[in-house]
Amino acid sequence: MEGFRHFSGVTTLALDSAACIGCGICTHVCPHGVMTLNGKKAKIADKDGCMECGACARNCPSGALAVTPGVGCAAYIIQTWLKAKNIPVDAKCC
C-alpha cells in the first residue's frame, strides 16, 4: 500500500526531543519513514505519513515518543486501498 497516507494534520504522534537519546531505533521500526535522525536527536520528518501504528513509541528506550494507536486510521488506509482496486468494502472507520 505504498503511497497511501493518513489525513493531514491529525496524527497524535509527539516527540519529546529533550528525552531522546539518539539511538535511532524509531528510524528503523517505522514502516513509513516518518522518523529521521538529526545529529544526535530524532526528528519527525513526515508527520502526516504516520499511521499511528505505535511501533516507534513501543520501542523507544527513553519514552521520548508518544502516539495513540489509531485503528480507525489504519482502517481508512485499507479502505482507500480496496476502493482504488474496486473491491467492495463495508467496514466503518474514523
Where on the chain is the footprint of ligand SF4 (CB under 6 A)? 13, 20-26, 29-32, 34-35, 42, 50-56, 60-62, 64-65, 67
Please report how close the Cβ of residue 92 comes to ligand SF4 at its closest, in angstroms.
22
Please report how close the Cβ of residue 12 comes to ligand SF4 at its closest, in angstroms.
9
Pick between residue 60 and residue 76 the one whose CB is nearest to ligand SF4: 60
In which element (H, E) is residue 42 found?
strand 41-44
Count CB-CB contacts under 10 A for residue 17: 11
Pick between residue 56 and residue 76 the one whose CB is nearest to ligand SF4: 56
Pick between residue 35 and residue 86 the one whose CB is nearest to ligand SF4: 35
Pick between residue 68 and residue 89 the one whose CB is nearest to ligand SF4: 68
- DSSP code, position 54: -
Please report how close the Cβ of residue 90 comes to ligand SF4 at its closest, in angstroms.
26
91 with 79: CB under 8 angstroms? yes
End-to-end CA distance of the chain: give it in Å, rounded.
19
52 with 94: CB under 8 angstroms? no
